[in-house]
C-alpha cells in the first residue's frame, strides 16, 4: 500500500523501524508498501494503530499509481458489514470478525440479540453480492496440506453466507470447495464433497492427509450457518 510509505516518510520512520514496531522484517515492509499488497489483518491493524488510524482510513487514504487519492464515496452498511468503495469497482469490506476465542459466543449470539461481536476485520473484494459477509479465524491444521489451497491454523477467511438447504439440490460446482460450517457446538472449516440424501448429511473432507484428520459426515440438522470461503489471509 502506497499510503504506508507516505505515512512512514511523513513521520520520518525507516522501513526497518516500522518493521520492528509491528514485528516483521525489512523485506516484509518493502512488500507491504507495494500497490495491492496482501497484508494480513493482524499486521494491517498494527500498522494502522501505529499511525493512529483505522484499517478503513488506511484504505480510504490509499493513492493510485499517479499519487492521487482514491475517489472517495460514502461508505454504506449491509448485513452488519461496512463497505468502502475503492478504485476500479473494488470495495473494502469491514465485516464482523469471529476469533477462535469467540466461536462459542458467536454460536450463542445466533439465538440471542443481547450478544454482539466487538471485532471487525477487513478484506478487499472485487464485487458486491447480496449475501452477508463474515470473517472467521481458523482453528487447527486439518485444512493445511502445504498447497495453495491450504487454510492453516490461525488463518483468516472471508466467507459469504449461503443457505444450507441449497446443498440438498446443489450442482456439482458446489462441491470440492472450502466452507466454514457453524454448527450447534463448534465452528469448523472443511471441504465439502457431496450430500448424502439417505443420511441427510454433508460429506466433509480434510485437506491434511495426516491420520489424525479423518473425513466424516455431518448431519445437516446440526449446521446453523454455512459460509463459502472467498478470500483468505495467513
Residues 144 and 31 in one domain: no
* Domain match, 43 and 99 both: no
Q: Residue 70: inside a domain, yes or no?
A: no
pTM of the model: 0.81
Helix ranges (H only) for the chain are: 2-10, 15-22, 26-32, 41-50, 55-60, 103-109
Phi, psi of 199, rounded to the nearest 5 degrees: -90, -5
> Kindly report the CA angle at 164 between 160 and 166, in degrees rounded to 5?
95
Question: Does residue 71 lie within any of the structural domains?
Answer: no
**pLDDT for the residue 20:** 94
Looking at the DSSP assignment, which residues form a beta bridge with residue 98? 136
Q: Please state the domain count of the chain.
A: 2
If one counts every other C-beta atom within 10 angstroms of the C-beta of residue 189, the result is 25
Residue 225 lies in a domain: yes
**Which residues of the chain fall below pLDDT 50?**
65-68
Q: Compute CA 171 distance to the chain's CA centroid, rounded to the nearest angstrom.
A: 25
Could you tell me which of 71, 22, 84, 74 has the C-alpha nearest to residue 47? 22
Predicted confidence at residue 170, as pLDDT, reads 65
Indicate if 56 and 90 belong to the same structural domain: no
Torsion angles phi and psi, residue 204, rounded to 5: -105, 135
- Torsion sign across C-alpha atoms 217, 130, 103, 93: positive
For the record, the C-alpha cell of 199 comes out as: 443420511
Report the CATH number that the domain containing residue 52 is assigned in CATH.
1.10.260.40
Residues 120 and 228 in one domain: yes
- For residue 93, tell me if it sits in a domain: yes
DSSP notation for 92-108: EEEEEEE-GGGHHHHHH
Q: What is the CATH number of the domain that holds 152?
A: 2.10.109.10
Both 105 and 56 in one domain: the answer is no
Residues 54 and 82 grouped into a single domain: no
Angle at which helix 15-22 crosses helix 2-10, to 10 degrees, equals 100
Tally of CB atoms within 10 A around 104: 12
Asked whether residue 128 falls in the same domain as residue 229, the answer is yes
Any domain includes 81: yes
Cell numbers at 219, concatenated: 448431519
pLDDT tens per residue, range 3-23: 899 899 999 999 999 999 999
Q: Are residues 85 and 182 in the same domain?
A: yes
pLDDT of residue 66: 45
Supply the pLDDT for residue 184. 93
| pLDDT tens, residue by residue, 152-188 | 999 999 999 999 999 998 677 889 999 999 999 999 9
- Do residue 93 and residue 151 come from a single domain? yes
- 90 shares its domain with 204: yes
Residue 94 and residue 52 share a domain: no
Judgement on whether residues 52 and 147 belong to the same structural domain of the protein: no
Report, in angstroms and rounded to the nearest whole number, the Rg of the chain calculated over CA atoms.
19
Question: How do 91-98 and 133-137 pair as beta strands?
Answer: parallel
Report the alpha-carbon distance of residue 33 to residue 219 in Å, rounded.
46
69 in a structural domain: no
Write out the residue range of the structural domain in which residue 13 sits.
2-60
Amino acid at each position: 500500500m502506497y499510503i504506508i510509505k507516505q505515512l512512514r516518510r511523513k513521520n520520518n520512520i525507516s522501513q526497518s523501524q516500522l518493521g520492528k514496531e509491528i514485528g516483521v522484517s525489512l523485506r516484509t515492509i518493502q512488500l507491504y508498501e507495494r500497490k495491492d499488497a496482501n497484508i494480513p489483518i493482524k499486521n494491517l491493524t498494527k500498522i494502522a494503530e501505529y499511525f493512529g488510524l483505522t484499517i478503513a482510513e488506511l484504505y480510504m487514504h490509499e493513492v493510485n499509481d499517479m499519487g492521487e487519492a482514491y475517489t472517495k464515496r460514502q461508505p454504506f452498511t449491509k448485513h452488519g458489514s461496512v463497505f468502502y468503495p475503492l478504485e476500479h469497482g473494488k470495495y473494502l469490506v469491514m465485516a464482523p470478525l469471529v476469533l477462535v476465542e469467540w466461536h462459542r459466543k458467536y454460536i450463542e449470539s445466533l439465538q440471542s440479540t443481547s450478544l454482539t461481536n466487538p471485532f471487525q476485520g477487513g478484506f478487499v473484494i472485487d464485487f458486491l453480492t447480496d449475501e452477508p459477509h463474515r470473517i472467521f479465524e481458523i482453528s487447527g491444521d486439518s485444512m493445511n496440506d502445504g498447497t495453495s489451497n491450504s487454510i492453516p491454523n490461525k488463518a483468516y477467511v472471508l466467507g459469504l453466507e449461503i443457505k444450507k438447504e441449497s446443498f440438498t439440490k446443489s450442482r456439482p460446482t458446489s462441491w470440492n470447495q472450502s466452507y466454514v460450517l457453524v454448527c450447534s457446538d463448534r465452528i469448523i472449516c472443511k471441504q465439502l464433497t457431496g450430500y448424502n440424501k439417505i443420511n441427510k448429511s454433508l460429506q466433509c473432507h480434510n485437506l491434511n492427509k495426516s491420520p489424525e484428520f479423518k473425513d466424516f459426515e455431518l448431519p445437516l440438522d446440526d449446521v446453523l450457518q454455512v459460509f463459502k470461503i472467498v478470500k483468505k489471509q495467513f
